[in-house]
Chains A and B, each alone.
Chain A
Amino acid sequence: MVTTGIGAGLEYESREGGVLRLIIRGTLDAERVGSLWTQIVDKVVRSRPPRVEVDACHMDGCDGVGIALLQELKARQEDARHEFRIDGLRSELAELIALFEIGPAARTERRSPAAVRFFETVGGSGIGFLRDLRAQISFAGETAAKLSSVLIHPGQVRWGDTVLIAEKAGADGVGITALLGFLIGLILAFQSAIAMAMFSAQIYTADLVVIATVRELGPLITCFVLASRSGSAFAAELGTMKVNEEIDALKTMGIDPVRFLVLPRMIAAVFVVPLLTMFNNLLALVGCFVVMLTIGFSPVIVIDRLYQAADLVDLFGGLAKTLVFGGLIAGIGCLRGLQAGTGASAVGDAATKAVVSGIVAIVVVDGVFAVVYYFLGI
């Protein structure tokens, strides 16, 4: 029989028949056990003793870590269908240890094999996507039906709220939209002018910027800004209301959340996006104008080119798209908010999904518009 010291007053003996006896003196606490945990558990796992005996005759007390160590050893032995015994334990310590006893079934997470989990994840994602698509279609249908009902009964909409939301989404966003428009116009003109110079066609930089801005970039950039500012705000606002059960309260009061919360936001967004886009377009032209002046064109010539480059069809073609984009951004933002789960992260998730889905939807619908406009000759 050999007694080996582990450290910190802990010893073990290897006895006849493969019995491992762990001798504990003093207090079995975090300070003593912490650094020895791995060593003790490894010893039991590696030597696979048919019986582990803990000599607790000289054990004065233990804390949560000490109890956990004894429970770990016991569970390991039980898993291996081997014996575990504690000798000489004082009654109050025995009561304490029994209180924290963990069963072997609870110790390990019952997980499926990796291959099964892979298919479960893929299948789950696929089903989740289809469910989300169904929810979006159903929500679009519900919103469209209620919007058409509003055309017949305009009093159903809370116009006061609508104006306030329009102010937040529109008027408060003029500065950032205009700044972005100016900078995009400036950069686009500057980059194009360099390329155009190779063909001695710098004067047509104005045409390029006007067409690109009025037909595509103006509506897209404005709607990206709206999705980031207002789409996320709508999702966070409605998501918080969902978490606080305010949506449930509306339902139980017989107030339709779509009519009460979604329609004002959609109407406000549809109303303000074309106006914001016009600000964006105007400032982009100013950016282009500044670049053209700096590369040596006279103001009269630049204004003439800017004026002739596009017609009203281009302008309204671009603005018409924004009406659809505005509805999409507000609708998706509200839907994500209404779909929010519970807990602190739910609102953040809803806002993130609103921005991502909103931007993807804008780009996809913009592609559809491009094809339709092509066939219509616009």
Chain B
Amino acid sequence: MTETQGKSIIRVEDVTVAYGDFVVMRDINFEVEVGEIFVILGGSGCGKSTLLKSMIGLNAPTKGRVLIDGKDIVTAEGKDELAILRKIGVMYQQGALFGSMNLLENICLPLEEFTDLPRSARETIARTKLKVVNLDGAEYKMPSELSGGMRKRAAIARAMALDPKILFLDEPSAGLDPITSSQLDELILKLSRTLRMTFVVVTHELPSIFKIADRVIMLDKRVKTIVATGRPSDLRDRSDNPWVRQFFNREAEAVAESRQT
């Protein structure tokens, strides 16, 4: 488990997200501590990715606010917004690498835009990031030449380009084989341990959750809010919500009727 310092770096306060009259989630409240691996969990369509998009400022909540290191990412503009964005890195579900650039160029791009470092420095930094994700030697490969797992690791390397304090990962294990998925989990643990980075991970892969998560919140699309918060093993064994236990134990229909208790 990661060493936490008890200081919150992300605070989500009373967040409600709605599209017109359709409410995706309501009254979401939680805090993420420095150095923590925090997992947002829930069934398909419960709004995990929507919540993540609200946390990174892509999707303004209808109500409430999201504070990153004490600053509201939703209302921040100009330099303030840029300062907040420098603190976060995001790995999107499909990697979102720029197809017309090789891996080195993909990672150098944020360095080129936001620093005055000379080219050789940018390239060395990019190589060190690729080394961390075990992609050294693939600097000049194009994203289309990579497998799904490599693409996700490269996306993590790019997200780390500017040494962010927080990494947001959207479904890092989706579509990967168990070995690659496990390697990715190891990478997250390694980065968390050595760099003291904070991770917010959206996933519903149980093995991955048990391996990496310090704390999880669980969303339920029927009640459209958080139904459980805590360590994954505690929720599996001791949650008073039967649906939560059902989810963690991968049971099909046993307690579906009483899930809102």
Contacts and interface: CB of A to CB of B under 8 A. Distances in A.
B128 A102 contact: yes
Interface stretch (B49-57, B69-77, B111-119, B213-221): B111-119
Interface stretch (B30-38, B137-145, B224-232): B137-145
The secondary-structure label for the interface of chain A is: helix
Contact of B127 (A34, A95, A107, A344): A107
B127 A67 contact: no
A187 to B, nearest CB: 40
B136 A72 contact: no
A141 interface: no
B113 to A, nearest CB: 14
A74 to B, nearest CB: 10
Given A95-B194, A96-B195, A103-B136, A69 B99 contact: no
B131 to A, nearest CB: 5
Interface residues of A, number: 33
A30 B144 contact: no
A64 B128 contact: yes
A30 B117 CA distance: 9
B139 A109 contact: yes
Contact of B131 (A34, A65, A95, A102): A102
A269 B182 CA distance: 53
Contact of A102 (B120, B121, B124): B124
A33 B143 CA distance: 31
Range of interface residues on chain B? 20 to 34
A63 interface: yes
B117 A64 contact: no
B160 A341 contact: no
Contacts of A341: 144
- Name which of B115, B128, B162 has the most chain A CB atoms within 10 A of its CB: B128
B117 A37 contact: yes
Interface in A300-346: 341-346
Interface in A116-147: none
Nearest to B125: A68
Interface string B124-154: 1101110110001101100110000000000
A72 B144 CA distance: 29
A342 B144 CA distance: 7
Given A68-B128, A71-B128, A106 B137 contact: yes
Given A30-B115, A65-B117, A345-B100, A106 B127 contact: yes
Contact of B100 (A99, A102, A343): A343
A106 B141 CA distance: 12
A52 to B, nearest CB: 16
Contacts of A67: 128
Interface string A17-61: 000000000000010001101100100000000000000000000
A119 to B, nearest CB: 20
A100 B137 contact: no
A68 B121 contact: yes
A65 to B, nearest CB: 6
A37 B117 CA distance: 8
Interface in A341-376: 341-346
A106 B139 contact: yes
Given A30-B163, A109-B140, A341-B144, A99 B121 contact: no
A249 B185 CA distance: 33
B87 interface: no
Contacts of A64: 125, 128-129, 160-163
**3 nearest A-B residue pairs (beta carbon):** A343-B99, A100-B128, A68-B125
30 contacts: A30-B117, A34-B115, A34-B117, A37-B121, A41-B120, A64-B125, A64-B160, A64-B162, A64-B163, A65-B115, A65-B163, A68-B124, A72-B120, A72-B121, A95-B194, A96-B195, A100-B128, A100-B132, A101-B128, A102-B124, A102-B128, A105-B137, A106-B127, A341-B144, A342-B99, A343-B100, A343-B144, A345-B99, A345-B100, A346-B99
Interface of B: 98-100, 115-118, 120-121, 124-125, 127-129, 131-132, 136-137, 139-140, 143-144, 160-163, 190, 194-195
Given A68-B127, A71-B128, 7 more contacts: A34-B116, A68-B121, A99-B132, A106-B131, A343-B100, A345-B99, A345-B100
Interface of A: 30, 34-35, 37-38, 41, 63-65, 67-69, 71-72, 75, 92, 95-96, 99-103, 105-107, 109, 341-346
